[in-house]
Amino acid sequence: MLEIVEANGTLVGINTGLPNRIAEEAIAAALVSDLHTYETLRREQKYGRNSRIDILLSDPQKGLAYVEVKNVHFSRAEALAEFPDSPTERGAKHLDELGDMVEAGHRAIMLYLVQRDDCSALRICRDLDPVYARAFERAAQRGVEAYAIRCAISPFEIVPAGAMIVDEPVVADLRKPPETSKVLEW
């Protein structure tokens, strides 16, 4: 059963149970870098500080690749998906833990799965969650890779359709406290 809504003339997938499965399809279809070349894929593996990684890839030659999947359906500007749509301490924690995996000698990937097909780029939503934005910047500086996949959505299916442009992190002075969020008027 699919859970889809129509927003501003486009179909948007809102089922939070689908992103990991769709991410696996995107990996298998070679839409996410070279992740399809890893020998083994395991789901929901314990790691980090009392966390589970969505997808753990392993290969005798390449080692381990930790893949965290984030569901994206928020858009305020034409052709632009944004994440997060609200403050997420858990999301910032995931980015820090991925950075720890890179420092331990592994590969770490944040994969944003955009369940809408009217967007061509993804931006980190700095105004709604400056703490997550700073975590994204720290993770990028530590070597965490970020990819975004756009989905094709119909009343019958949601499938991975291709890679999207991911927001380039803005290098900031990480010692400064985060800015406060601004209230947006719609």
pLDDT of residue 182: 34
Hey, what are 18's tokens?
Answer: 């689908």
pLDDT at residue 5 is higher than 80: yes
Question: Does residue 122 lie in a domain region?
Answer: yes
pLDDT at residue 96 is higher than 50: yes
Question: Does residue 183 lie in a domain region?
Answer: no
Mean pLDDT rounded to a whole number for the chain? 89
Question: Does residue 108 lie in a domain region?
Answer: yes
Distance CA 168, CA 141 (A): 11
Question: Does residue 106 lie in a domain region?
Answer: yes
Cβ contact 144:108 at 8 Å = yes
Cβ contact 72:117 at 8 Å = no
Tens digit of each residue's pLDDT (9 = 90 or more) over 141-156: 999 999 999 999 998 8
**pTM recorded for the entire structure:** 0.88
Cβ contact 18:158 at 8 Å = yes
Tracing tokens 């955009």 back to the chain, one arrives at 114
Tens digit of each residue's pLDDT (9 = 90 or more) over 45-82: 999 888 999 999 999 999 999 999 999 999 999 999 99
CATH number of the domain enclosing 79: 3.40.1350.60
Tracing tokens 């890779």 back to the chain, one arrives at 145
Question: Does residue 76 lie in a domain region?
Answer: yes
Question: Does residue 16 lie in a domain region?
Answer: yes
Question: Does residue 60 lie in a domain region?
Answer: yes
Number of compact structural domains in the chain: 1
Question: Does residue 31 lie in a domain region?
Answer: yes
pLDDT at residue 173 is higher than 80: no
Distance CA 132, CA 70 (A): 13
Domain with 151 in it = 4-175
